[in-house]
Amino acid sequence: MQLDDILKLDIKLLVAFVTIMEEGSVSRAAEKLGVTQPALSKSLQRLRDLFDDSLFTRQAYGLTPTARASELHELIQPILSSLSKLMTPNILDIKNLNRKFKLRVDESDLEHFIEPLLAVLHYEAPKLQLSLTSWGETQFDQLTSGNVDLGIKCINDTPSNIRNKLVGYMEACIVLSEAHPLFHKTSVTLEELLEHRFVTHHLGNSQSSTFAKTQQKLKQQGYRLDPSLETDSLMVAMQAVKRGMALVASRSIGELFIKIMASKATTEQCSKMNFHPVKLLPVPKEVMEVDEYNGLHPIYIFWHERFNNDLAHRWLREKIIHFMRQSPWMHPPKQ
């Protein structure tokens, strides 16, 4: 590629050349382009100097292209057509979108949107593929590297190249089964809760989570917040609750537990497995008093700057935001 020669080209000159070819007249070409005839004549002279050819000869009925001009016309027309397509707005064809999106989202947040999202993808974007996995040790490295397209989490501190949008607020709850000593109570203190074994499920134990400051304040007050079990497995958490451990989780997971436990208890087979009734209790007031979010923790959706204007990416994240805000467990953003 001869860059010096390419830099001599001017798109306006090429457009002027093609228009003169089509009109066979400088005056008619100037009128069509909305410029004066002297200005177009100067452009024609620049073209002649650029290509070292007269390009056109004057005849009684107008201008006749030279052999070089005809040759150039065949070369320039596809270039202008390609440039025209380049400026055409991108159109998103959801029905035929054949693309895989990788999401990082914990199970407690996934419950807010996965059912309606899968239904929409089935009918509107049947070729679209999803990969859904929980957050690992790294929060945003995979978003930056391009290995992950979207992330959802209770974190609002992000690098400058990561875009985010507040989806809404979620609350936590305490899940107890009939096997737990505090099952008969309508509320519990933090001290009472910590007297017994408990399990946490996706409460965001990283230092950047919105729960981190609350946990730190409670530790400074002398509360030992060491769960007997930490898990990202719904089945493991369910077994722990069944065995009499208190579960600290999001309300969406808590109500899912009630639904699952009730469903299992209706079958004779599951009754033999000794599933106990479960109930939800509010988070102890000692926690609420030091929580800067007053028990309603913000959930954000994240994506890298490179995907901000990607039509398919925008379509997917807007669908997820819409469904999450429609969730009965999600509190809408404050106005």
Residues 121-150: what's their mean pLDDT?
87
- We report the CATH number of the domain holding residue 25 as 1.10.10.10
> Given its phi and psi angles, is residue 295 left (phi above 0), alpha (psi -120 to 50 degrees) or beta?
left
For 206-255, the pLDDT digits (tens) are 555 667 778 888 888 988 888 899 888 888 988 999 899 999 888 888 88
Same domain? For 80 and 152 the reply is no
Same domain? For 145 and 275 the reply is yes
pLDDT at 172 (0 to 100): 87
Segments forming the whole domain that contains residue 72: 3-86
pLDDT of 265 strictly over 90: no
pLDDT at 295 (0 to 100): 84
Same domain? For 58 and 196 the reply is no
> Which is more confident, 81 or 180?
180
Q: By three-state DSSP, how is residue 327 classified?
A: coil
Same domain? For 108 and 238 the reply is yes
Residues 286-312: what's their mean pLDDT?
90
For 6-58, the pLDDT digits (tens) are 666 788 888 999 999 888 889 999 999 999 999 999 999 998 988 899 999 88
pLDDT at 276 (0 to 100): 66
Same domain? For 200 and 125 the reply is yes
| Number of domains comprising the chain | 2
Q: By three-state DSSP, how is residue 131 classified?
A: strand
Same domain? For 104 and 252 the reply is yes
* Tokens representing residue 240 in the block: 């722990």
Averaged pLDDT score across all residues of the chain: 85
Same domain? For 54 and 98 the reply is no
Q: Of 28, 54, 86, which residue is a domain's last? A: 86
pLDDT at 268 (0 to 100): 47
Same domain? For 62 and 39 the reply is yes
Confidence class of residue 329 from pLDDT cuts 50, 70 and 90? Answer: confident
pLDDT of 176 strictly over 80: yes
pLDDT at 19 (0 to 100): 92
Same domain? For 102 and 184 the reply is yes
Same domain? For 51 and 126 the reply is no
Dump strand ranges (E) for the chain.
56-59, 62-65, 100-105, 129-133, 150-153, 162-177, 198-201, 229-231, 246-250, 278-281, 296-304
Same domain? For 65 and 101 the reply is no
pLDDT at 210 (0 to 100): 67
Residues 149-160: what's their mean pLDDT?
84
**Under 8 Å between Cβ of 214 and 285:** no
- Provide the whole-model pTM: 0.70
- We report the CATH number of the domain holding residue 300 as 3.40.190.290
Q: Of 27, 62, 86, which residue is a domain's last? A: 86
Residue closest to 43 by CA, chosen among 68, 19, 12, 69: 12
Q: Of 29, 62, 86, which residue is a domain's last? A: 86
Task: Report CA-CA distances (Å) from 250 to 119, 133, 136, 203, 298.
Answer: 24, 18, 19, 7, 12
Same domain? For 204 and 297 the reply is yes
**Under 8 Å between Cβ of 239 and 276:** no
